[in-house]
Amino acid sequence: MTRPDAVVIVGESIAGLTAARELRNRGYAGSLTMIGREPDGAYARPPLSKEVLRDAKKEAHLAYPHADLDLAHVRSAAVELGTSSRIVTTADGRFVPYDALLIATGADARRLARPAQTGELVLRTLADARLIRRRIERARSAIVVGAGFLGLEVASACVARGVEVTVVDSESPLLRHLGPFMSGHVGAHLTRHGVRLIQAARRVHLVGDPVTGVALPDGGVLSADLVVTCAGDVPAVTWLSGTGLAGSWGVAIDERCSTSIPGVYAAGDVAYLTPGTGERASRAPFWSNAVAQGKVAAASILGEPRPHPPKDDYFWTEILGLPIKVVGPLPLHGDPVSIEGDVDEGDAILRWESPGAARTVVAYGRKIPVGRLRTMTNPSGPR
Ligand SMILES: Cc1cc2nc3c(=O)[nH]c(=O)nc-3n(C[C@H](O)[C@H](O)[C@H](O)COP(=O)(O)OP(=O)(O)OC[C@H]3O[C@@H](n4cnc5c(N)ncnc54)[C@H](O)[C@@H]3O)c2cc1C
């Protein structure tokens, strides 16, 4: 395979920039164009909910460095992809040709508002975080729709500012990913810190225009000064319409991050690994996964062997001062083995294992290097 002369990356964030750096590290000296639609350029999203909602000064540390990568930047959204012509069209009317293309457009926040309903707040971008922070500063009460990681981090930021918070979901906190054991402990932790948890029988609806609250399935209505929707994300694929590359799950990739079209690769939150027989398609929209896939995609673009599998199932969160780190496959079922500490004290290392399946290890309330946590998932490691 010959090396491409022109590589274009659409999506200026961690998957795209990791691929760009890996291409340069592997000696690629050709043209490298980065198409991004955000005025703030490339920055880390995880601190948005953990730090930036609480403190504007934390914005100073978000930017991903890239001055050394010799990138040609196009700051405009990609609006169309011609897979036969090998051209990306941007909103400002440019036509950007490529030999190899990396789709790294990530995801957008899932919205619950009706089409014309205004005022829904979501958290995906730095601009979103700035807006929510300003609203938190003026609020006395908040409703967070969604008891996943993001929703609980937003709730934590509200509590830190003295705002009374209600979290509404049809499931208990973190249940979908971390299972009933962890959900119970995290729920108790939230309640101890004054967060009101409401488990609705079904999906809730936003009320007001602009949004002022939520309607519960039982007919009740909750209102607050601030309502934030944290109801998951949807792959950013509208610009791929007509290419056959994307469906509602995003862009399917193989173990080399190749798509179904030669010369087109995908990585990060926009992509999902083609499932094996009998498996369900699912994305893993986490930061470490985006890094792993960015590196694999770069190697594949250059026709080189992949450095490691195109996935990394590590992620972390912090809920009301409680750090949680997870390494291993999700979702979790059943009860864990306690390796160290005491989960009731909010300081433990827990392991889930089942015959023939990879282990998952959780550091609950304990700051521990991720490398150490990874060794604990090893079947020949400590028991
Ligand atoms: C608030 C928040 C907190 C998070 N916390 C954690 C955490 O603690 N741990 C963890 O593991 N993960 C966390 N995540 C998830 C993590 O940030 C994502 O998995 C990661 O950012 C994915 O990287 P990506 O490069 O694939 O996509 P993204 O970061 O979504 O970047 C995609 C980029 O492409 C741009 N784009 C989209 N469409 C177009 C287009 N048509 N043309 C040009 N550009 C386009 C977008 O604007 C964006 O800049 C968090 C996410 C959020 C929002």
What is the count of structural domains for the chain? 3
For residues 167 and 241, membership in a common domain is answered with no
Reference 238, options 108, 117, 126, 127; nearest CA is 108
**CA nearest 35: which of 85, 3, 71, 86?**
71
Q: Do 68 and 20 share a structural domain? A: yes
User: Do the beta carbons of residue 64 and residue 14 sit within 8 Å?
Assistant: yes
How much is the mean pLDDT over the chain?
95
Statement: residue 1 has pLDDT above 70 = no
Say what the pLDDT of residue 351 is.
95
Residue-number span of the structural domain to which 45 is assigned: 6-108+233-301
Q: What is the CATH number of the domain that holds 10?
A: 3.50.50.60
Q: Name 315's bridge partners.
A: 326
Same domain, 224 and 191: yes
Q: Say if 267 falls within a structural domain.
A: yes
Q: Is residue 383 domain-resident?
A: no
What does the pLDDT look like over 14-58, one tens digit per residue?
Answer: 999 999 999 999 999 999 999 999 998 999 999 999 999 999 999
- Give 232-278 pLDDT, tens digit per residue: 999 999 999 999 999 999 999 999 999 999 999 999 999 999 977 66
Residue 336, classified by CB atoms within 10 Å of its CB into exposed (0-12), middle (13-18) or buried (19+), is: buried
Question: Are 99 and 237 in the same domain?
Answer: yes
In a domain, 309, yes or no: no
- Looking at the domain assignment, is residue 195 inside a domain? yes
Is residue 35 in contact with ligand 1, taking CB distance under 6 Å? yes
Q: Is 325 in the pocket of ligand 1 (CB under 6 A)?
A: no
284 alpha carbon, distance to own chain's centre: 8
- Which of 32-41, 244-253, 294-303, 370-379 has the lowest average pLDDT? 370-379
Q: Which residue's entry shows tokens 């949680």?
A: 324
pLDDT for 354 = 77
| CA–CA distance, 74 with 96 (Å, rounded to integer) | 9
Query: Are 128 and 209 part of one and the same domain?
Result: yes
CB 233 within 8 A of CB 107: yes
Residues 103, 237, single domain; the answer is: yes
The reply to whether 46 and 90 lie within a common domain is: yes
Tell me, in angstroms, the distance from the centre of ligand 1 to residue 178's CA: 22
pLDDT at 383 over 80: no
Residues 225 and 121 in one domain: yes
* Ligand 1 lined by 107 (C-beta under 6 Å): yes
**Do 102 and 131 fall within a single domain?**
no
Q: Do residues 118 and 225 both lie within one domain? A: yes
Say how far residue 253 (Cα) sits from the centre of its chain: 18
Are 95 and 138 contained in the same domain?
Answer: no
Query: Cα angle at 103 between 243 and 74, to 5 degrees?
Result: 105
3-state secondary structure of 314: strand
Q: How far is the CA of 13 from the centre of ligand 1 (A)?
A: 6
- Mean pLDDT computed over 196-214: 96
CB-ligand 1 contact for 42 (6 Å cutoff): no
